[in-house]
Structure 1
Amino acid sequence: MKIPASTNHKPVIISENYGDVDGRFANNTDVKALSLGLTQWNGEGMANVAAKIWRNTEEQGSGQSEEIPIHRILDLSILFCSALTHFTEAYRYEHLYDPQNPVLDRIGLQGNAMTVAVCTDNNEINEDIKQFNEALSDNGEMIGERLRTLSRTLKEMGY
């Protein structure tokens, strides 16, 4: 994969064929690659490990991408798994959650806790949460495959 010269992301590990395995969008996606590499976010010149999603645009040689610090990817994974856990029992609630107690979990991280909650600021939460639940169900096989692979890999690493 040709990395644009203007990027400050220095790929170290890359999945150049991610477009072939991008879930339901496989072989029909604007995401072409995922990479793990080094980047700088602060003015102190300190390198950080980050993930990047490489996208193609219509212009030749131009690429859009997103960088996400590794800890945020892990935090997103934790958030996602917490949500999945909730939705296994969500059918018990009329609106798939308890409006009187929208907090689903508190997960201790670095001396504090990440609150996992239903976004009650969303004016259309009752409809949106149903669609979210349907999307989880529709993608259950693909999600399950990836979670099993992640679980196996974590076990092999001793976690």
Structure 2
Amino acid sequence: MKIPTTLKHKPVVVVENYGNVDGRYAYKTDAQGLSIGLAQWNDRGKVDVSAKVWRYTGEKWSRQSEELPLHRALDLAILICRSELHFREAYRFEKLYDEKNPILDRIGLQGDAMTIEVCTENEHIDEDLKILRDALTKDGELIGERMAVLSRLLKELGY
């Protein structure tokens, strides 16, 4: 299925078969495409680039399709990587995190730091951490495959 080019987001580089590779949702997902293109929120004379997940309901392209500035897509990748790293050692803590210091990392970006921490405001955090750990373990092969590809591409780019 072709990603529409007549909507506000203007796709430039696309993955039109994303529905076939959407992790454990492959072949049964509404996320049918990915694109990098010109953002839908562009003002006249100002051009931003964005990444977009294209959702299709079976009848029409969904308004629930997500569009992100590229730096936010990368920030999510950083968050996923840091979370994976945390859970590799989380077994050392009774509640899967250090209750006295729930901050997992502070990653310097643009003169400040992105603070990655366990959400202690979540009243079900102990249970939810176990659920997240188990989900990451269950999807380890899917995530690991993508991490390996990301690592290879970053190395090819010189990072």
TM over 0.5: yes
- Measured on the aligned residues, the alpha-carbon RMSD in Å equals 1.4
Secondary structure of the residue that 1:121 maps to in structure 2?
Answer: coil
Deviations along 1:90-147, one digit per CA (max 9) or x if unpaired, are: 0000110011110000000000000000001111000000000000000001111110
Stretches of structure 1 that go unaligned for 5 or more consecutive residues are: none
The answer to whether residue 59 in structure 2 is matched with residue 52 in structure 1 is: no
Q: Deviations over 1:22-81 (max 9, x none)?
A: 0000001011000100115364641111011111125x3443311011000111111111
* Mapped partners of 1:128, 1:90: distance in 2: 14
Corresponding letter in the other structure for 2:9: H
Identity of paired residues, percent?
A: 56
Distance 1:97 1:76 in 2: 21
Unaligned runs of 5+ in 2: none
Higher strand share: 1
d(CA) in 2 for partners of 1:121 and 1:89?
Answer: 22
- 1: distance between equivalents of 2:36 and 2:48? 10
Quickly say closer, same or farther: Cα 1:42–1:4, change in 2 above 3 A. Answer: closer
Q: Secondary structure at the match of 1:88?
A: helix
Matched, 1:148 2:110: no
TM-score calculated relative to the size of structure 1: 0.93
**Corresponding residue number in structure 1 for 2:157:** 157
Secondary structure class of the residue paired with 1:142: helix
Could you tell me how far apart the structure 2 residues matched to 1:61 and 1:77 are? 29
TM-score, normalised via structure 2 length: 0.93
